[in-house]
Amino acid sequence: MLQALSNVLVTPAEMTAVDKDAARSGIDSFSLMRSAGTAVSAAALRLYPEALRFVVLCGPGNNGGDGYIAAAALADTGASVAVFALGDAAMLKGDAARARDAFALVPRPLDAYGPQSGDVVIDALFGAGLARDVPDEARTVIEQVNASGVPVLAVDLPSGIDGRTGEIRGLSFVAAHTVTFMAAKPGHLLMPGRARCGTLEIFDIGIPARLVADRAGDLHVNTPAMWEQHLGALDPATHKYKRGHLAVLCGGPVSTGAARLSAAAGLRAGAGLVTLASPAEALAVNAAHLTAVMLKEINNAAGLAAWLKDRRLNAFVLGPGFGVGKKARDFVLMLCGRALVLDADGISSFREGREQLFDRIAAEGGEVVMTPHEGEFARLFPDIAEDAALSKIEKAQAAARLSHAVIVYKGPDTVVAAPSGRAAVNVNAPPWLATAGSGDVLAGIIGAHLAQGMPAFQAAASAVWRHGEAGVVAGRTATAESLVESIAPLRGNA
């Protein structure tokens, strides 16, 4: 991966603009295509030295052009190569036509291909230019190849995957490996696209990094580079109050476990002090389970208001097991000027009356992070959730703008977005992280990071990453409890 662009995500539209900028700056576009196609042939030889035949499926645009270059390069090595074209290859234009001419044989029609054992398919039907659902003429081949188990190496994207959204446009190849150029696209990381790309290789075809960076938005893969400059906030040498006092608000006596999980995760993730704020009727059950986490009786808004006079309480988690309703709304509205993680029932409580919440966050300017999964997102942001034109990234960005909060839109492809539009897509979470109580643990880690003074976006993004790492350490049999035990130190953290 390119160092200067290592975490940048570029949309297909931005990439098209980069191509134009590159041409304008005097870079020969055919030389870029030659680099792209040659990289694909190199990947094919490296990954499939035992292939009996490379079958290159070429489409009507520049993705097909990359395919012809790859076919010619593979043929030059003496490998057996066959090319099948979608549509009339004689109609290709520009660089793609030039690339077609570089391959000595006339391509056969796409529907003449039937997968054979020993084939390796190079999918160069559609890439960034896929503008609508995959055409009928390509359906049978894609279905047959997917059913055959023949390995597929995708050029830029598996054909049928939308590079902006990761959605499947009708149907798509399921690739074992994808070679893309200069930077990853959202469709490589968002589901279901991510699951169909196989391993992702990002190849530098020679466009100056500056040209890519100039067009890229504030969209990244969630890696430590996104937030490591803020890890100083987690310095273990400080007094326990300076390491932050996190308060987790607990619900009634029958649903206390979720809040205790958040509290335990917050302590493990480095908050100096963690207090569970519990109603009187749940004090006994909480006291029976807590040791290092402290307990405080808070029954109503008046009790919370008195407690909030203590400014050393510097972050709050409200939602896990809290219960949906007026009490949650009243409490949350009192916390909008502080650092707050709003999760689960805390989010669902604002299904009605969300404007009051959003206005309060805007007016009080607190560091507010909301952590909806898909169902909670649809409850709080039904208009955004139903907009089929938007990608998951764009939905999270729209919700952040509307609510004035940092949004952690959870799932296998969790997106963290700030009101400014800044966003990161998380990629380190193993599938077994989707276990009961996992979200409570995440809320606690975010709370710990906020308590230690990290800004909301960085607190959330680093917590999502740390939660993913904990999942990897905990392994397939992870439970919420083992997940807490598996939270590892971040650099600079105790």
Ligand X SMILES: NC(=O)C1=CN([C@@H]2O[C@H](COP(=O)(O)OP(=O)(O)OC[C@H]3O[C@@H](n4cnc5c(N)ncnc54)[C@H](O)[C@@H]3O)[C@@H](O)[C@H]2O)[C@@H](O)CC1
Sequence-ordered strand ranges (E) for 327-399: 339-342, 367-370
Sequence-ordered strand ranges (E) for 187-256: 199-203, 219-221, 245-249
Q: Is 65 in the site for ligand X (CB under 6 A)?
A: yes
- Phi and psi at 426, nearest 5°, equal -90, 140
Q: Is 66 in the site for ligand X (CB under 6 A)?
A: yes
Say what angle helices 29-47 and 94-102 make with each other, to 10 degrees: 50
Classify the phi-psi angles of 348: left when phi > 0, otherwise alpha if psi is within -120 to 50, otherwise beta.
Answer: alpha
Cβ-based nearer residue to ligand X, 20 or 351: 20
How many of the other CB atoms lie within 10 Å of CB of 311?
8
Q: Is 454 in the site for ligand X (CB under 6 A)?
A: no
CB of 66 to K ion, least distance (A): 8
Position among 38, 57, 60, 158 found at the interface with ligand X (CB under 6 A):
60
Give me the half-sphere count of Cα atoms (radius 13 Å) on the Cβ side of residue 82: 17
Q: Is 154 in the site for ligand X (CB under 6 A)?
A: no
**116-135 residues near K ion, rule: CB under 5 A:** 123, 127
Q: Is 321 one of the annotated binding-site residues?
A: yes
Q: Is 58 in the site for K ion (CB under 5 A)?
A: no
Position among 127, 187, 257, 372 found at the interface with ligand X (CB under 6 A):
127
Tell me the residue type at 43.
A
Position among 159, 349, 452, 486 found at the interface with K ion (CB under 5 A):
159
Q: Is 145 in the site for ligand X (CB under 6 A)?
A: no
The DSSP secondary-structure symbol of 8 reads B
CB of 211 to ligand X, least distance (A): 10
Distance CA 235, CA 230 (A): 10
Position among 11, 38, 41, 63 found at the interface with ligand X (CB under 6 A):
63
**186-205 residues near ligand X, rule: CB under 6 A:** 205
CA distances from 231 to 224, 270, 274, 418, 453 (A): 10, 12, 20, 19, 10
CB of 40 to ligand X, least distance (A): 9
Position among 129, 217, 224, 421 found at the interface with ligand X (CB under 6 A):
129
Given K ion, ligand X, none, residue 133, with its beta carbon under 5 to 8 Å by kind, binds ligand X
Q: Is 134 in the site for ligand X (CB under 6 A)?
A: yes
Bond before 135 cis per omega within 30 degrees: no
Element (H, E) at 274: strand 273-278
Selected range binding K ion among 159-167, 178-186, 324-332, 334-342, rule: CB under 5 A: 159-167
The DSSP secondary-structure symbol of 431 reads G
Position among 21, 47, 135, 252 found at the interface with ligand X (CB under 6 A):
135
Position among 11, 14, 19, 441 found at the interface with ligand X (CB under 6 A):
19
Position among 54, 68, 84, 126 found at the interface with ligand X (CB under 6 A):
126
Position among 8, 9, 36, 265 found at the interface with ligand X (CB under 6 A):
36
How many of the other CB atoms lie within 10 Å of CB of 26?
6
Q: Is 492 one of the annotated binding-site residues?
A: no
Q: Is 131 one of the annotated binding-site residues?
A: yes
Closest CA to 344 of 318, 368, 369: 318
Position among 9, 83, 128, 333 found at the interface with ligand X (CB under 6 A):
128
Give how many residues touch ligand X by CB under 6 A: 28
CB of 109 to ligand X, least distance (A): 15
**DSSP β-ladder status, 406-409 and 415-417:** antiparallel
Task: Specify the 3-state DSSP secondary structure of 208.
Answer: coil
Position among 8, 22, 33, 155 found at the interface with K ion (CB under 5 A):
155
User: Helix/strand/coil (H, E, C) string of 83-136?
Assistant: EEECCCHHHCCHHHHHHHHHCCCCCEEHHHCCCCCCEEEEEECCCCCCCCCCCH
| Strand order through the sheet with 119-124 | 108-109, 81-85, 53-58, 119-124, 152-155, 177-181, 199-203
Position among 5, 8, 9, 15 found at the interface with ligand X (CB under 6 A):
15
Given K ion, ligand X, none, residue 181, with its beta carbon under 5 to 8 Å by kind, binds ligand X
CA distances from 53 to 80, 114, 273, 299 (A): 5, 13, 63, 72
Q: Is 43 one of the annotated binding-site residues?
A: no
Torsion of CA 190, 202, 29, 62, to 10 degrees: -50
Q: Is 158 in the site for ligand X (CB under 6 A)?
A: no
Q: Is 123 one of the annotated binding-site residues?
A: yes
CB of 357 to K ion, least distance (A): 44
Given K ion, ligand X, none, residue 123, with its beta carbon under 5 to 8 Å by kind, binds K ion
Binding residues for (6S)-NADPHX, as ranges, are 62-66, 127-133, 156, 258, 321, 373, 440
Binding residues for AMP: 410-414, 439
Note the residues at the interface with ligand X (CB under 6 A).
15, 19, 32-33, 36, 59-66, 126-135, 155-156, 181, 205, 207
Can you give the binding site for K ion, defined by CB under 5 A? 123, 127, 154-155, 159
